[in-house]
Amino acid sequence: MMRFPLLLAVLCLLGALRAAETAPAARPNILWLVTEDTSATFHTGYGDPLARTPVFDRIAKSGVLFERAYSTSAVCAPTRASIITGMYAPALGTQHMRSNVPMPDWLRYFPAYLRDAGYYTTNRAKTDYNAAVLPGTWDQNGNQAHWRNRQPGQPFFAVFNTNASHESSLHKRVELVTDPAKVRVPAYLPDTPEVRADLAQYYDRVAAADRACGEVLAQLEADGLADNTIIFHYSDHGGVLTRSKRFLFEGGTHPPLAVSFPPKYRHLAPGAPGSRSTELVNWVDLAPTVLSVAGVTAPAHLQGRAFAGPARAPAPAYTFNFRDRMDEAIDFSRAVTDGRFRYIRNYRPEQPILQHVTYLWNMATTRELDRLRAAGQLNAIQAALFAAKPAEQLFDCQTDPDNVRNLAADPAHRATLEKMRAANRGHLLRIRDSGFMPESLLRARAAGRPPVLVARDDAAYPLARIIDTVDRLQLGAAPTAAELAPLLRDPDAVIRFWAAHAVLSRRVAADVSPLLRDPVPIVRLVAAAALAGSTDAAKAAAAWPIFAAALEPTLPAEVKLEALSFLTALPARPASLRPLIEAAAKPAANASGENYAARAAEHLLKL
């Protein structure tokens, strides 16, 4: 008769133990140490003998170092938008630098799910999400945010950002610790004293960022929390010298990542202490991984995978990066890597790799490149930075870590090219990449709504058809005027844009004059850019009023910036446009305190 009460008691005890496993007190603390603009290769753990990163190396030795970790983008705001949402920014329309677009009602930033589970969430202090900080994300957000402000015994998720290695740290020369004679100058940069000094100063700034992370670890240990805390140490993206940050080469997209697990949580780790993982990791994986090690179920909309914890999923064969507008430089490229080969699909190949970006020109290395370009003293690899780029690039990062030998046309690598091209197409469709809509068109279609709603509407945005059309127009033989004619009349403005763009970028002798009356500004502008270089004087003259109208003060900043971008690429402009360009150069900052159209106008006036 005693068996049933005893059984009931045992079941109750087991239930209590199971509940305790997921109770807040049983969950690990999670600490993020985040540096800025730091490539993996500037860390001792990745084989650089000149690096001084003992804090990162210590975390790697007590945890797992990830050899193939990649950021979603090569610049801060779009990457941080991807990290906080767990989604690739082009899926949400947050891919353009400091674009500040609205988020859909169904989306929450991932720390909110930790808060639901009892975590105290803090961020110190950079957000830069390309969108507003959503309510319910952080218990504390700012320069005073700290785990020390939580309730006793409450688990925490704490982010500490340091900007010691940020690009701005190279805007002024300081006394150097690293010997410039010992740095390796990559093939795409000129070997001059200025470039060597920038590289040496960057080593010093990476070391300073490492020390800043060490100060946070010292606080953790002083509080007796190290044995209960899982530590992620990473950088938002690579950097920082010219052609790394902002660019889809290895230097811009391959930051460091090490994660340490104290003994009591070692069962959550993807490897033994001191091990090195060759699995592909992307920064969209950070959100699901943190939720996994915290024992929190990840929402279905996340586009990454957990690489640690009970929800750990198999590594993919490929991972992906994106590049869109970088400050005032309009561009559109996507990249795929398998950890060895890097494929880059440039959808705006008429744009040079190194467009003028005011902030980037604050660096001595960039100015040195520009000076040597003007003097005709760059070698072929370096001069290519200022020329139009191929629609496809393929690099073997094992034999060519600087990504300077394009294998896209090499028959020996044709199979790799086709596989990665197909992987890119599949990824674009899977995430519903909004990038094929130029920024002004995306905003116009969204009409104040979250851009993701536009990107997910296949009736309004038939993405498969658009991708296939653009590939046909850009890859292989140039399209004929007969092929372009129906596309130039297509009901979809996106198709009309790309058809007119083909006339511009591939010099097809097709008549785009009717598009000067198109209802969509960006379609009118690309048609005007194609006609401005025409040998037909009447057609060329018809282009200039389109640019003048786009520079009117009442038009959106995105339209102005697109007009200025096309004008910058043209060899000459009529004097009648100068007053409008001067007016566009007058400061009128957006919600982020930026005015990229003004920067573009200022540069154009100097040409």
Nearest to residue 454, comparing CAs of 439, 469, 471?
439
| Domain's final residue, options 266, 284, 314 | 314
- Contact at 8 Å (CB) between 228 and 264? yes
- For 28-67, the pLDDT digits (tens) are 999 999 999 999 999 999 999 999 999 999 999 999 999 9
The single-letter DSSP state of residue 575 is G
Q: What is the extent of the structural domain holding 368?
A: 333-418
Residues 296 and 223 occupy one common structural domain: yes
Q: What's the pLDDT at 535?
A: 86
- 423 in a structural domain: no
Residues 258 and 143 occupy one common structural domain: yes
- 1 in a structural domain: no
- Give the chain's domain count: 3
The H or E element spanning position 558 is helix 557-569
Residues 82 and 119 occupy one common structural domain: yes
Residues 166 and 259 occupy one common structural domain: yes
Residues 45 and 136 occupy one common structural domain: yes
Residues 358 and 461 occupy one common structural domain: no
Radius of gyration of the chain (CA): 26
Residues 127 and 232 occupy one common structural domain: yes
- Contact at 8 Å (CB) between 313 and 53? no
Q: What's the pLDDT at 1?
A: 38
The single-letter DSSP state of residue 307 is S
Q: Is 210 exposed, middle or buried (0-12, 13-18, 19+ CB in 10 A)?
A: buried
* Backbone phi, psi, residue 70, to 5°: -135, 140
Rounded-to-integer distance, Cα 295 and Cα 572, Å: 61
Residues 530 and 388 occupy one common structural domain: no
Q: What's the pLDDT at 19?
A: 38
The single-letter DSSP state of residue 23 is S
pTM of the shown model: 0.95
Handedness of CA 208, 214, 215, 216 (dihedral sign): positive
Residues 120 and 51 occupy one common structural domain: yes
112: CATH: 3.40.720.10
The single-letter DSSP state of residue 345 is E
531: CATH: 1.25.10
Residues 440 and 356 occupy one common structural domain: no
Query: Cα separations (Å) of 76 from 127, 238, 239, 250, 427?
Result: 10, 10, 11, 16, 22
- 387 in a structural domain: yes
- 431 in a structural domain: no
Query: Cα separations (Å) of 17 from 20, 296, 403, 519, 530?
Result: 5, 18, 54, 66, 71
- 402 in a structural domain: yes
Nearest to residue 283, comparing CAs of 251, 248, 253, 318?
253
| Domain's final residue, options 314, 344, 375 | 314
- 373 in a structural domain: yes
Q: What's the pLDDT at 274?
A: 98
Catalytic site positions:
76
| Domain's final residue, options 388, 418, 448 | 418
- 325 in a structural domain: no
Three-state SS at 125:
coil
- Contact at 8 Å (CB) between 311 and 304? no
Residues 465 and 376 occupy one common structural domain: no
Residues 160 and 87 occupy one common structural domain: yes
Low-confidence stretches of the chain (pLDDT < 70) are 1-25, 588-593
- 429 in a structural domain: no
